[in-house]
Structure formats: structure tokens, C-alpha cells
Structure 1
Amino acid sequence: MVKTRARDGFLLMIAMVMMFLAGCGNGNNNISANNVDVGPVEIEFWYALGGKLGENVEALISEFNAAQDGVIVKGVVQGNYEETQQKLQAAIASKNVPAAVLTQNNDWARKGYFTALDDYIAADTAFNKDDFIPAFLQQGVVDGKQFFLPLYGTTQVLYYRKDMLEKAGLTEDVFNTWETLADASAKLTVKKGDTTEVIGWMPMWGRENMMDAVLSRGGRILSEDGKTVMIDSTEWIETWEQFRKWIHEEKNMGIHSSGQGWEYWYKTINDVMQGRAAGYTGSSGDQGDLDFNIVAAHTQPGWASHAPAPIAQALMAGIPTLASDEQKQAAYEWITFFSNSKNTAKWSINTGYIAVRSSALEDPDYKAFSEQNPQIKVPLIQAQSASSAFIDPTGGKIDDALKIAADKVQIENVSAADALREAQEKAQEELDKVTGAK
């Protein structure tokens, strides 16, 4: 009886060894230790894009899934970026996170919620850092590490009526500096008695246009060490005061500042398209709402003393820290697929947003499209020398102070010096809370 048990045990051991060797000899990476096919890695990609933008995302997901068999991406649509952030917070708390998230906010990297991508990039021989638009790639850097990669970008450019410029005997050279644009705006303004029939130029309501103009004059929002708010510097005061004069004293520029939601934005566009304004400063994403038989696009100007440096903002993708190692690698493959040269060019063609790589300008489809639609190149050209988007270290308190100051200058006709100095005091107080300064 003992010999029989020993023999049976020996045979069982041989069988187990043979099964192990058979498993080792199988070259299929999807075979696990117990000889079960685990299949491709499935990941979720959260994004807050609807309508045609959402359709374009799903088309790219389908293309990626069909192009390889190691990863399956499932797109999960969120209502907006704020909702994405709220749901991600809940997902982190429950330790059930998506593998990739589209976001505007890189601040969560400092909280440890996202994984640094530097090791993935270092191992990726196809990654070409120099091909990314610097302002977009830099936005994904937090404390010296690359936490996010840009998927697409946006910036604000000039749109003007070609017929009105020609009638006034002007050329595109008037858009080279803010000084020459202001002179042209005066010539393009048409008044009949006390009534302005055509306004020369329309900055968009809010702080963004005037912030772009400040950066294009060499101004800064924060000091290099990040401890001092600099929005009451000479560059800020002189620039915002000039806009106040153009709007309220010279009255050859104007803004819409009323209505619900984006109503003011579309009123501005309508004024230009219907001949009540000669041009305006608006988003690269406006191109789908404009008739380029009537209007043309141009990069934002600098000043006579400084080259242009308006903000270009990236929409970025990051990988949550709590995702598994397999999911993180799969997410990295998906993100770099979305942002490769061919796909970023395709995204720009289909949506009007900015490609994140310089090489998109040389993509055959992009080149062919841009020959028929030259306006699409303007935001991409501008983005290559643009400033990175400002990430508010106070969680929005500096931005809030600037919003209030912009309304005072643009709507209430308060001097820029008074509005900005008050804003600086409030913003500095909030920044001191973050930095620990007294």
C-alpha cells in the first residue's frame, strides 16, 4: 500500500513537470501560468466631449482597437470637465479608476493621483519630444516630471472681414502689432452722427484677450520663484489701460458682455458676420461657425517692443496612479496613438482644434486640406511660439481676481491701475496661504 502511494505520487509529479514544460514552451504571451488565455488588456478612457467631437473620439478608439490586439479601449463620456473631476475623485476613493483621463487640470498630479510618464517615454524609442508644440507639452509638466501628454490644443486668434479691410485700403500688415491694429480699428470704425454703424475691432469679453496682450508685452503672472503675484506690473497696467481707452474713450473697439452662457461670444461672431464689426479676437475652435469666403484668420500680434506670446492651452491625457501596471502600459499606448502625427493632423482637420505636433504641417492630408482652407494653419503656427497656459496654484483665486478686474476695466471703465492693484492684493493674499508666506 505504501509502495502504491509512492508510485502514484511519483507519476503525479512527472505529469506536473510535463505540464509546466509545455506551458513554458508556448510562445503566446497571453497564456498565463495555468494555461488560460487572458486576452487583451481592457481599459477605460474618460473624456468630456459630445456631439461631433465625441464622434471623432470614438472613431479614433475604433481605429486603435482594430489596429492591434493587445489593448481594447472603451470610451466613457462625461458631462463636462468638472463632472470628470468629481467622478474621478469618487473613483479614486473606491480604488476603481479608469486607465486614462482627458483633463485641463494638472494640479492633481501634485496630490499623487496621476502617474509620471517619464519612464514610459524613456522606454519608447518612437517618442519624439521635439516634435510636440512646446507650450502644449510643457503644460503637462509638474515639478519637473511629465505627468500628462497633450491630445489637442486651442488658442485665440484674429478673424477679420476681408472686404472691409480692402475697402479701407489696408493690408494684413496692420495685424503685426497691437499699435497698428489699434490704428486700423480707428480707420475701420464707421460712425453716423452719434451712432456707431461699424465697430473697428471686438476683443472678446473677459480677461483672456487682455492677458494674451500682456504676455505679448513681456509681462508675467507670477515671479520666477512662484511667490509673488505680478499682475500690477507696468506691463499689465499699461496694456489693460490701453484696452480701456480703446473701448471707452476712443470707442473704436467694443465688447458684448451680457446674456446667458456663450451668448456674448456668438453675439460677437454675429456682429462680424453681419457687417457690424470689422473683426474680433476669438477661439481657434470658432472656425466651424465662420464663413471664410467673408472672413480670414491671422495670428495675434505682439507690440512694437515685444514679439507675440499669447497663451496656447492643451487638453491633456493622464494615467491615474491606482491603475494596474498592465493598464498603465495600455493607456500609454492609447495616448501616444491619439497624439501621433497622423492622428493629431486628422483631429485638427475634423474639429478645428490645434494639432499638438509640428510635423502635422507636413502631413499630406493636412497639407491638402490647408491649401483649400488656409485658416486652419493659423492657430498651429501661433501655438509654436505661444505661452503655456497658466495653472493657478491657489485653485482659481488668482483667476477670480483677474476676472473681477477685467470687468471693471472693460465694463465699468475703471482705470487699469486701480483694478489691477486691488486684484493683486487679493491674489497675493491667497497665494501666501499656499506658499506659507506671511
Structure 2
Amino acid sequence: MVKTRARGGFLLMIAMVMMFLAACGNGNNSISANNGDVEPVNSAKAAVNEPVEIEFWYALGGKLGENVEALIKEFNAAQDGVIVKGVVQGNYEETQQKLQAAIASKNVPEAVLTQNNDWARKGYFAALDDYIAADPAFNKDDFIPAFLQQGVVDGKQFFLPMYGTTQVLYYRKDMLEKAGLTEDVFNTWETLADASAKMAVKKGDTTEVFGWMPMWGRENMMDAALSRGGRILSEDGKTVMIDSTEWIETWEQFRKWIHEDKIMGIQSGGQGWEYWYKTINDVMQGRAAGYTGSSGDQGDLDFNVVAAHTQPGWANHAPAPITEALMAGIPALASDEQKQAAYEWLTFFSNTKNTAKWSINTGYIAVRSSALEDPDYKAFSEQNPQIKVPLIQAQSASSAFIDPTGGKIDDALKIAADKVQIENVPAADALKEAQQKAQEELDKVTGAK
């Protein structure tokens, strides 16, 4: 919430002096959206009033959360007009649920890291075009085009990209070497499965060490289906195609690897990101030879033990996993003063220096092209080649899927993935059911009968 309380006579006199100094161009109270330098904006107001306090909701734990808090502290220390308070959420779905409740009660946070861009169409978020137009330091051309475009809804910029992400492979170097294998086994899913069978350790019918661990959820198997030539929607956007041969064969293969061959394992359930960190822990503790996870996992991994590799394609298809940006927006119910403060915070988060530093510390993809020329980034990438893997993968990746139904197609895929990965339901049954539900929802949007 914003706290604005006028101070007494002495402070008012100081404010008048600061107004004079600001007019002379000597203030330094706000953050530039371009490079993080301190510039004079509204310094007199900051002297008269308390700082504008805003909440930033984000669903990041572990070292990712620590990096967010470090950026918040840096921002708060660099200027005196805005105070950001970070509020950690369990995961993105929890963020969405709590935000919906906050909107209903008209007591919203002022900035939110979100995956649901469709909420802009419901009027829940504020368009940022006017703030961008009034910001001479905002360099649109410096943003990765696909990332910035992802935040556009109905022709308006509602969200700004904070960082990019894609899912890559992480494998234990010692287990690969022990099995007499090289990283060439990660070139296709077929060869990765063969390698998983060699690296898995079984005792009777029980697998003690898995050769590989896909991450729980639809994302890994969606990537694999797209890499086999599958599509989510037809070119005209009117037909859901998740029950095509490419999808069924891909998902059925994963079901077989997990439930019949038992060379791959899945950690599922738990609170928030619990399943994710259990998967990482299984690999780091030697209970699995590798896993498919986020580029952002790099801050939690020991690269003396593991190495990174791009996702594979299939024998006759090049890889095409999804690369997307994590976006942040400003709820429409925030006051004008809060919206301006939130905009300053979001552009600080994504400026050249900070997006480069975020990439270095987390492995996520920088959202600005200029970050690649940042001296610290260049030096780090020479010593830590794993940071280049997500960038290499992004060059041939599929674009992020924007669900035209407001999440109903995604929901159908989530249910289908659980049936295949957890319940051992044949992929054809799970995907055909998902396609029917998704098609019904898409027809409501397109007006088809």
C-alpha cells in the first residue's frame, strides 16, 4: 500500500531546497530503465512524502528466490522514492489463485510475476504503453523480440519479460563415463532412452537408480511431441491437434519408459516446487543419472558433478522445444502512483546489467540482446559453458504457446500428462479425451459448432 504523510516545517524547507536542486538537474532518485544508473525523477515529491510501497509477488524458491531478494535490496538502496516488498508464492498456480482473491477484495499487489497473460483481456492488468512512451530510456529494440511480443495482448503491451526460460538436459558426468557413453547419446530421444537403460540400476523389479527423470507435468512431453513434428493447433487456429500420431507416439513412449521399462522415474506431488527440488536432489544424490529441467536450475546445480545439454529431437526430426519468457505485469486496481512505482521496479529488474547478472546467477535467458556484450556475462560464459546451452537451444526453439481458451487447453494437457506419467493410462486414451475437452473449449472461442 502507499503511505503518503506530509512532514512538518523543517522538512518542508528541505523539500523546497531539493526542488531547486532538482530544477538544476542535480537530483538522483530513480532508476533508469536502460542501464540501472540513478537519474533525477520526482525528487521533490520523494522528500515531501513517504516512499511509495509496493508488493511484488513471485513464485520462485531456493537460490532463485535469493536472487530476487538481492535485486529488491539493490533497488531499494539505489533510490528513495519506491520501496519494493517481495512476497513469495508457492508456485504460479498459487499466485493465480491468490491474485484472483486479491482482485475480488480490491486489495491487490502492485507487481506480479505471472504465466497467465490472458488475464489482461479480463481487465485485471494495466496496459504499459503510456509508461513506455513516457520513458526515454526504454529501448524496445534491445529486447529479444519474441520475449517482448509475448507480453502483447490485443495490440497493447501489458507485460514485460523478466527472463527467458527453456527446459534442457542435465546429466551426471561420472555416470555417463562409467557406462562408457559420451554426450552424443543426447542427440535423439531414442539414443537417450538406450543410454538410460545402460545407466539404470535395478534390483529385481525395483529400479534403484533411474537412467533419466523427466520433470513431472506436461511441459517435457509437450516439448518432445513438438520435436517430433507435432502441433498444438492447426494453422488456422480452429482445430486442437494433440491427439495426432506425433503426440500419441511420443507420449506413449514416455509411458513405456516410465512404467514398463522402468528406466525413467517421476517425482510428483508435494507443496509448491517440492517435486522439482526432489528431482534435482535425486540426481545430485546419485539416484538418477540425469533429468530434464529448467534453464533456471543452473543456480542450484554443482557443475563439478553435472553438465548441461540441449534437448534432443527424434531420429527423423530436429528438436523444437518451447522457449518462453516469464512475464511481469501491474494489476489494474493499483493506484496511478503505485503503477508508476511498479513500472520503475520492473524496468530495473530487466535492465541490461541486471538481466545479465540474473542469467549468470540462475541460468535463465537474458531478455536483452545487449546483455550478451556485458563484460561480466562474457567472462562468466567463457568459464561456465553451461550458461550458453539455453541460448543455443533458443535459436531453434518453438514459440511459447498462448492458449486462446484462457488456459483450458493447458488444463486438458495437464490432466492427460498425469494420466500417462502417474496413472499409466495409454497415451491414446489420455490424449483423445484431452483433445475432445480442449476442442469444445476452443469452439466456444472461435464460434465453431
| Both structures adopt the same fold (TM-score exceeding 0.5) | yes
Note if 1:82 corresponds to 2:82: no
- Equivalent residue of 2:340, what SS? helix
Contact 2:34/2:351, CA 8 A, preserved across alignment: no
Q: TM-score, normalised by structure 1?
A: 0.78
Contact 1:43/1:331, CA 8 A, preserved across alignment: yes
Contact 2:32/2:137, CA 8 A, preserved across alignment: no
| Shift in alpha-carbon separation, 1:200–1:335, aligned structure 2, 3 A | same
- Equivalent residue of 1:62, what SS? helix
Contact 2:34/2:138, CA 8 A, preserved across alignment: no
The Cα shift of 1:186 comes to 3.3
The Cα shift of 1:106 comes to 1.0
CA deviations on 1:371-398 (whole Å, 9 max, x unpaired) are 4433333234334543344343444432
CA deviations on 1:33-57 (whole Å, 9 max, x unpaired) are 999999x776554445567545543
The Cα shift of 1:160 comes to 0.9
Contact 1:135/1:385, CA 8 A, preserved across alignment: no
Contact 2:33/2:138, CA 8 A, preserved across alignment: no
For residues 3 and 276 of structure 1, what CA distance do their matches in structure 2 show?
52
For residues 248 and 35 of structure 1, what CA distance do their matches in structure 2 show?
51
Of 79-88 and 157-166, more deviation after overlay is shown by 79-88
| Shift in alpha-carbon separation, 1:292–1:430, aligned structure 2, 3 A | same
- Equivalent residue of 2:332, what SS? coil
- Equivalent residue of 1:355, what SS? coil
Of 218-227 and 321-330, more deviation after overlay is shown by 321-330
For residues 175 and 269 of structure 1, what CA distance do their matches in structure 2 show?
19
Contact 2:3/2:53, CA 8 A, preserved across alignment: no
Contact 1:46/1:76, CA 8 A, preserved across alignment: yes
The Cα shift of 1:132 comes to 3.1
Contact 2:33/2:344, CA 8 A, preserved across alignment: no
Of 71-80 and 13-22, more deviation after overlay is shown by 13-22
The Cα shift of 1:331 comes to 3.5
Q: TM-score, normalised by structure 2?
A: 0.76
For residues 375 and 220 of structure 2, what CA distance do their matches in structure 1 show?
33
For residues 335 and 3 of structure 1, what CA distance do their matches in structure 2 show?
20
The Cα shift of 1:224 comes to 3.6
The Cα shift of 1:212 comes to 0.9
Contact 2:31/2:79, CA 8 A, preserved across alignment: no
Contact 1:133/1:384, CA 8 A, preserved across alignment: no
Contact 1:409/1:416, CA 8 A, preserved across alignment: yes
Higher-Rg structure is: 1
For residues 6 and 200 of structure 1, what CA distance do their matches in structure 2 show?
64
Of 11-20 and 1-10, more deviation after overlay is shown by 1-10
Of 74-83 and 55-64, more deviation after overlay is shown by 74-83
| Shift in alpha-carbon separation, 1:264–1:340, aligned structure 2, 3 A | closer
Note if 1:257 corresponds to 2:268: yes
The Cα shift of 1:72 comes to 5.6
| Shift in alpha-carbon separation, 1:180–1:145, aligned structure 2, 3 A | farther
The Cα shift of 1:152 comes to 2.2
- Equivalent residue of 1:4, what SS? coil
| Shift in alpha-carbon separation, 1:133–1:219, aligned structure 2, 3 A | farther
Stretches of structure 1 that go unaligned for 5 or more consecutive residues are none
For residues 2 and 304 of structure 1, what CA distance do their matches in structure 2 show?
58
- Equivalent residue of 1:115, what SS? coil
The Cα shift of 1:109 comes to 0.8
For residues 56 and 359 of structure 1, what CA distance do their matches in structure 2 show?
21
For residues 98 and 222 of structure 1, what CA distance do their matches in structure 2 show?
34
The Cα shift of 1:178 comes to 1.9
Contact 1:132/1:358, CA 8 A, preserved across alignment: yes
Contact 1:117/1:147, CA 8 A, preserved across alignment: yes
Q: How many residues align?
A: 437
Residue in 1 that maps onto 2:142: 131
The Cα shift of 1:281 comes to 1.1
For residues 394 and 139 of structure 1, what CA distance do their matches in structure 2 show?
16
Of 407-416 and 170-179, more deviation after overlay is shown by 407-416
For residues 7 and 259 of structure 1, what CA distance do their matches in structure 2 show?
49
- Equivalent residue of 1:3, what SS? coil
